[in-house]
Chains A and B, each alone.
Chain A
Amino acid sequence: GAVVSQHPSRVICKSGTSVKIECRSLDFQATTMFWYRQFPKQSLMLMATSNEGSKATYEQGVEKDKFLINHASLTLSTLTVTSAHPEDSSFYICSARDGRADGYTFGSGTRLTVV
C-alpha cells in the first residue's frame, strides 16, 4: 500500500532557530501533499497544500513566511519552521494521496518542541 515517510519523528530546537521536516512518498508520486498541525487534544488543522513545481497554498491564518514549504520533486515535500518559538511546538503531520489507494496516507508525524 501507499507509504509516506516523515522525518524526523521528534525534534527539539532552541527558540529562534529553524527546523526542516521532510515528507516523502515512498512508492508513489505525489503532485500534491498536505501539511497539518495538531495541538494536544485538538484535531488536525490543515496548514497548507504543497504543489510540486509551484507555490504552496496556505490556509487562512498560516504565515507563509514562517512556514516555508518546498515541493521540488514528485516524492518530496519539506516544511521549514523558521525562527521557531515555543508556541510553534506541536505535532506536524504530512499526507499525500496515492491515486491507486483510497483516502490519504499520513506520515508518522513530527513532534516539534521549541525551548
Chain B
Amino acid sequence: QKEVEQNSGPLSVPEGAIASLNCTYSDRVSQSFFWYRQYSGKSPELIMSIYSNGDKEDGRFTAQLNKASQYVSLLIRDSQPSDSATYLCAGSYNFNKFYFGSGTKLNVKP
C-alpha cells in the first residue's frame, strides 16, 4: 500500500457547489496531514493542515480527519473556477518524511 492514496479524478463540480476531495493513508504517515493546491506548472502551496480527529475550518475550506478509518478529506464550499487545480494530500510522521498522494484534479465549471 502506498503511504497516501488519492483518486486522480478529474472531479468536476459546478461553480458554487461543494467539492469533496478524499485521501486515505497508511500507518507510516499517521501524525500530520496537509492539503496542498498545485496549479499546472507551479509548485504546491499549502492550504490546510490537520493533526487531530474532527473538522478544521478555514474560510471556504474544511479539512476532516478520521484516524480510525485512516482517511482525510478536504471540502471546498462555494467552489470557484479559480479553485480548479490539482489537490495534493500529504502525510507525515514526525515531520521526518513527507509523502504525497498522486493528486486529485478538480475542475470547477462556470
Contact = CB atoms under 8 A, between A and B. Distances in A.
A43 B103 contact: yes
B102 A42 contact: yes
Contacts, number: 43
Nearest to B105: A41
B42 interface: yes
Interface residues of A, number: 21
Nearest to A36: B100
B43 A107 contact: yes
A87 interface: no
A113 B90 CA distance: 27
Contacts of A49: 97
Overall SS of chain B's interface: strand
A91 B43 CA distance: 9
B97 A103 contact: no
Nearest to B34: A103
B46 A43 contact: no
B98 A104 contact: yes
Interface of B: 34, 36, 41-46, 49, 88, 90, 95, 97-103
